[in-house]
Structure 1
Amino acid sequence: MAVPAEELLPGTRRALLHRLAVGQAQGRTPSLVGAVVRGGRLVWADGRSMIDGHSPDADVQYRIGSITKTFVAVQVMRLRDEGALDLADPLARHLPDLAATPTAEAAAAAGLGAGVGAAGGAGALTIAHLLGHTSGLASEPPGPWWERTPGTLRPRLGDVLDEPPLRHPPGRRFHYSNPGFALLGALVSRLRGQPWGDTLHQELLAPLGLSRTTLLPQAPHAGGFAVHPWADVMLPEPLQDTGVMAPAGQLWSTAADLARWAVFLTRGDKDILSADTLAEMRQPTSGPDKADGWTTATGLGLQLRRHDGRLLYGHAGSMPGFLAGVWVSRSDDVAAVVLANATAGPAVAQIAADLIRIVAEHEPRIPEPWRPVSAVDPELLALTGLWHWGPAPHLMYLRADGGLELIPQGQTGRGSRFRAEPDGTWTGLDGYYAGETLRVVRAADGTAGHLDIGTFVFTRTPYDPGVDIPGGIDPDPWQAY
Structure 2
Amino acid sequence: MTTSQEELLPATRRALLHRIAVAQAEGRAPSLVAAVVRGGRVVWHGARTSVDGHGPDENVQYRIGSITKTFTAVLVLRLRDEGVLALSDPLEKHLPGTGAGEASVAELLAHTGGLAAESPGPWWERTPGSLRPELGDVLGEQPRLHPAGRCFHYSNPGYTVLGALVEKLRGAPWEEVLRREVLEPLGLDRTSAQPLAPHAGGWAVHPWADVLLPEPLEDLGLMAPAGQLWSTTGDLAKFAAFLAHGDDRVLSAETVQEMRTPAAPVEATDLVDGVGYGLGMQLQHRDGRLLTGHSGSLPGFLANLTISVADDVAAVVLANCTSGPLLGSVGADLVRIVAEAEPRIPEPWRPLPEVDSAVLELAGQWYWGTHAFVLRLTPEGGVSLAPLAGVGRQSRFRSNGDGTWTGREGYYAGEALRAVRRPDGTVSHLDLGSFVFTRQPYEEGASVPGGVDPEGWRGIG
- TM class by shorter chain equals over 0.9
For 1:220 and 1:332, the matched residues in 2 are separated by 33
Q: Aligned in 2, Cα 1:219/1:282: closer, same or farther, shift over 3 Å?
A: same
For 1:132 and 1:400, the matched residues in 2 are separated by 31
- Residue 287 (structure 1) aligned with residue 262 (structure 2): no
Q: Aligned in 2, Cα 1:312/1:411: closer, same or farther, shift over 3 Å?
A: closer
For 2:410 and 2:101, the matched residues in 1 are separated by 34
Deviation string, structure 1 residues 158-179 (Cα, Å, up to 9, x no partner): 1101221111111000000000
For 1:443 and 1:344, the matched residues in 2 are separated by 67
Matched residue, 1:37: 37
- Residue 391 (structure 1) aligned with residue 366 (structure 2): no
2:211 to 212, 233, 257: 233
Matched residue, 1:65: 65
Q: How much does 1:444 deviate? A: 2.6
Deviation string, structure 1 residues 38-71 (Cα, Å, up to 9, x no partner): 1011111121100111111111110000000000
Residue 204 of structure 2 contacts residue 321 of structure 2 at CA under 8 Å; is this kept in 1? yes
1:221 to 199, 204, 209: 199
Matched residue, 2:247: 269
Deviation string, structure 1 residues 1-48 (Cα, Å, up to 9, x no partner): xxx997112221111111111110010010000001110111111211
Mapping of residues 149-228 of structure 1, within 5 Å: 149-228=127-206
- Residue 133 (structure 1) aligned with residue 111 (structure 2): yes
For 1:61 and 1:217, the matched residues in 2 are separated by 7
Equivalent residue letter for 1:262: A
Indicate the SS of the match to 1:165: coil
For 2:430 and 2:412, the matched residues in 1 are separated by 13
Matched residue, 2:315: 336
Equivalent residue letter for 2:226: A
Q: TM-score, normalised by structure 1?
A: 0.92
Indicate the SS of the match to 2:7: coil
For 2:58 and 2:49, the matched residues in 1 are separated by 13
Indicate the SS of the match to 2:307: strand
Mapping of residues 69-148 of structure 1, within 5 Å: 69-98=69-98, 101=99, 122-148=100-126
Which moves more between the two structures, 469-478 or 454-463? 469-478
Deviation string, structure 1 residues 282-315 (Cα, Å, up to 9, x no partner): 1100336xxx987100000111111211111110
Q: Which runs of 4+ in 1 moved over 6 A?
A: none
Deviation string, structure 1 residues 451-481 (Cα, Å, up to 9, x no partner): 0000000001111121121122222131222
State how many pairs are aligned: 453
Q: Aligned in 2, Cα 1:406/1:236: closer, same or farther, shift over 3 Å?
A: same
Indicate the SS of the match to 2:97: helix
For 1:325 and 1:63, the matched residues in 2 are separated by 11
For 1:135 and 1:258, the matched residues in 2 are separated by 28
Residue 429 of structure 2 contacts residue 447 of structure 2 at CA under 8 Å; is this kept in 1? no
Indicate the SS of the match to 2:101: helix
For 2:5 and 2:42, the matched residues in 1 are separated by 12
Task: Tell me the C-alpha RMSD between the 2 structures.
Answer: 1.5
For 2:298 and 2:244, the matched residues in 1 are separated by 25
Deviation string, structure 1 residues 79-129 (Cα, Å, up to 9, x no partner): 00001111111112111232xx3xxxxxxxxxxxxxxxxxxxx01211111
Residue 296 of structure 1 contacts residue 304 of structure 1 at CA under 8 Å; is this kept in 2? yes
Residue 102 of structure 2 contacts residue 148 of structure 2 at CA under 8 Å; is this kept in 1? no
Matched residue, 1:346: 325
Deviation string, structure 1 residues 399-456 (Cα, Å, up to 9, x no partner): 3332211121255742221111122111111221111000100023211110000000
Q: Aligned in 2, Cα 1:385/1:197: closer, same or farther, shift over 3 Å?
A: same
Q: Aligned in 2, Cα 1:8/1:31: closer, same or farther, shift over 3 Å?
A: same
Indicate the SS of the match to 1:264: helix
Matched residue, 1:439: 418
Equivalent residue letter for 2:341: H
Residue 392 of structure 1 contacts residue 412 of structure 1 at CA under 8 Å; is this kept in 2? no
Deviation string, structure 1 residues 218-272 (Cα, Å, up to 9, x no partner): 1111111111111111111101001000101000011101011111111111111
- Residue 406 (structure 1) aligned with residue 406 (structure 2): no
1:242 to 212, 215, 220: 220
For 1:449 and 1:254, the matched residues in 2 are separated by 58
- Residue 464 (structure 1) aligned with residue 440 (structure 2): no
For 1:248 and 1:161, the matched residues in 2 are separated by 13
Matched residue, 1:106: none
Deviation string, structure 1 residues 110-152 (Cα, Å, up to 9, x no partner): xxxxxxxxxxxx0121111100000110000000000000101
Work out the percentage of aligned pairs sharing the same amino acid.
62
Matched residue, 2:293: 314
For 2:379 and 2:130, the matched residues in 1 are separated by 57
Equivalent residue letter for 2:327: V
For 1:26 and 1:365, the matched residues in 2 are separated by 31
